[in-house]
Chains A and B, each alone.
Chain A
Amino acid sequence: MPWSRPQMAERLAREFQDGWIVNLGVGMPTLIADVPFGDREITYHSENGVIGYGPVAAPGQEDLQLVNASGQNVTLLPGAAIVHHADSFALIRGGRMDVTVMGAYEAAANGDFANWKVKGAKGGGIGGAMDLAASAKRVYLMLEHRTRDGTPRLMARCSLPITARGVVTLVVTELGLFAPTGEAFAVRDLAPGVTLDEVRAATACPVVE
């Protein structure tokens, strides 16, 4: 059984260590904010300058002056702080992010990834992705293993314009958790019942144990 998206979020979040500052990107990574961390202290940073935010506000309780990177009306936890955009990205470039979790179109075995421009488009959506990718201590990606038409998203080299070079630490898909090794993806974990052969068939480069 491949993982559901909340299961992908839960599996990736298991990698977070006590005390980490975590930046969650737009889309799938927002699911990580729902994962309980027990004894681990995790602080969420959002690119728009919100440090220490908590769950999405209950309906009717939204503060319309407060959003995370995805534009969701989140809440603040005790100890939260607000800074402007230049300071927020100073924290990013300054190396304070222990991990950034982003969605992606493609992830490559050489550690490159692509998440800002699709084929044939004139425009793109970079947002904070290039700053985060260049300077976070770790870059985790959450993506579907294949496109809707079955094309692998994990490959030797990206076919789309990249967001950053050689930075990806871990990739979670519905099939498992993988680490790029240069020429291959190494399996760190597989979803229950998923076989190595299934992963290899869905991946456009070598997959190693």
Chain B
Amino acid sequence: MARRSKVVADFDAAVAGIPDGSTIAIGGFAMPGVPFNLVAALLRQGAKRLTCIANTTGGAHKPRMPDIGMLVENGQVAKVICSFTAGTRASDVLPFTPYYERGEVEAEIVPQGTLAERLRAAGAGIPAFYTPTAVGTELAEGRETRVINGREVLLEYALPVDVAFIRAYQADEAGNLRFRRSQRNFNPLMAMAAKLVIVEVEEPILPAGAIDPDDVHTPGILVQRLVQIPPPPEGLWPVKREAR
């Protein structure tokens, strides 16, 4: 049986053909699991009117790594869907913030667990679900709630995406992925929710079968493109955040 390799030559090849208007989910939580290299390639690729989904728009910490804020600064983003549209401190001003305040970019703020579950639901064929999260808050105003088992819960819809940018620790040529430590975070969920899954991989890409099937976190049938991250400085790797 033939198996076509999913490995592409470089990051530019990995993001080739992403059309204007795409919805792109970008994995990661703090430094771990963020596909910095694919975001940097998307800045070069130049697709516009994007909807970007991630935990945060980024840029609150130093050193700054490629983030949604840079795509916004580059004029590529129409809308963000994040659990943070401001920093964790009231004094934080994110690079994204002035664009948002001027109305140049739209934003939807979503509680983090709801964001994860909306992605999971999209990948799982569940169109919507009810959750107790955000009931009684400004986010629930004008939206459908029900009382189920005596508890008020809020209707949330699945969040399907066109493209997922993923960073994994290991991959085999079949696209099976393993994550290391907290780099797993949103990555497997975004891979499930997307039509096109592009993965930057830290370790040399393994022959199919080299990852024990029991150890696969994201099955290769979800993955279309793999690219190996070169060592620094050519490739971007997590660095220690400066204290603030």
Contact of B49 with A by CB under 8 A: no
Interface residues of A in 127-161 (CB under 8 A from B): 127-131, 134-135, 161
List the B side residues contacting A121 at CB < 8 Å.
86, 90
Which of the 9-residue segments A3-11, A13-21, A85-93, A182-190 touches chain B?
A85-93
Partner of A71, one of B61, B86, B116, B217: B61
A67 CB to nearest chain B CB (Å): 5
User: Do residues A89 and B30 form an inter-chain contact, with CB atoms below 8 A?
Assistant: no
Choose the segment among A36-44, A57-65, A170-178, A195-203 that binds chain B (4+ C-beta atoms closer than 8 Å): A57-65
Contact of B183 among A65, A135, A164 (CB under 8 A): A65
Instruction: Scan A54-95; emit 1 where CB is below 8 A from any B CB, else 0.
Output: 000000001111110001010010000011111011001100
Contact residue among A46, A64, A129 (Cβ-Cβ distance under 8 Å from B240): A64
Q: Mark B59-98, 1 if CB is under 8 A from A, else 0.
A: 0010000000000000000000001111111100010110
Contact B31–A85 (Cβ < 8 Å):
no
A interface, size bucket:
35 or more
Count of B interface residues, CB-CB < 8 Å: 57
> From residue B144, how far is it (CB to closest CB) to chain A in Å?
17
- Using Cβ atoms and an 8 Å threshold, which residues of chain B touch A63? 181
Determine the distance from Cα of A131 to Cα of B133 in the docked complex, in whole angstroms.
5
Q: Residue B22 at the A interface, CB < 8 A?
A: no
> Is the CB–CB distance between A84 and B88 below 8 Å?
no
The CA of A92 and the CA of B111, in the complex, are separated in Å by: 13
For A105, A117, A122, A161, which residue has the most chain B Cβ atoms within 10 angstroms? Answer: A122
Query: Chain B contacts of A130 at CB under 8 A?
Result: 111, 113-114, 133-134, 137, 139
- Closest Cβ–Cβ distance, residue B34 to chain A (whole Å): 11
Decide if A26 is an interface residue (CB 8 Å cutoff).
yes
Highest count of chain A CB atoms <10 Å: which of B84, B96, B101, B116: B116
Cβ proximity bits A109-133 to B, threshold 8 Å, 1 near / 0 not: 0000000011001111111111100
Q: Which residues of B contact A179 (CB under 8 A)?
A: none
Determine the chain A residues whose CB is within 8 A of the CB of B134 once the complex forms.
130, 134
- Residue pair A49, B238 in contact (C-beta under 8 Å): no
The one of A27, A48, A126 in contact with B185, judged by C-beta atoms closer than 8 angstroms, is: A48
A149 to B100, CA, bound (A): 28
Output the least CB separation between B37 and chain A (Å): 15
Q: How far is the CA of A84 from the CA of B216 in the complex (A)?
A: 13
A91 nearest CB neighbor, chain B only: B113
When distances are taken between beta carbons in the complex, the residues of chain A under 8 Å from B184 are: 49, 82-85
Q: How far is the CB of B68 from chain A (nearest CB, A)?
A: 13
Please name all residues of chain A whose beta carbon is closer than 8 Å to the beta carbon of B219 when the two chains form the complex.
none
User: Which of A27, A84, A92, A125 is B186 in contact with, Cβ under 8 Å?
Assistant: A84
Q: Which residues does A use to contact B, with CB under 8 Å?
A: 26-27, 46-50, 62-67, 71, 73, 76, 82-86, 88-89, 92-93, 105, 117-118, 121-131, 134-135, 161-166
Not counting A84-B189, A123-B86, A124-B85, a sample of 11 additional A-B residue pairs whose C-beta atoms are within 8 angstroms of each other reads A73-B240, A84-B188, A85-B186, A86-B120, A86-B189, A105-B90, A123-B97, A123-B109, A128-B111, A129-B111, A134-B133
28 residue pairs bridging A and B, Cβ less than 8 Å apart: A48-B30, A50-B182, A64-B31, A66-B32, A67-B182, A71-B61, A82-B182, A84-B187, A85-B189, A105-B90, A118-B86, A122-B101, A123-B84, A123-B96, A123-B109, A124-B109, A126-B110, A126-B111, A127-B55, A130-B114, A130-B133, A130-B134, A131-B112, A131-B114, A134-B132, A135-B133, A161-B138, A165-B137
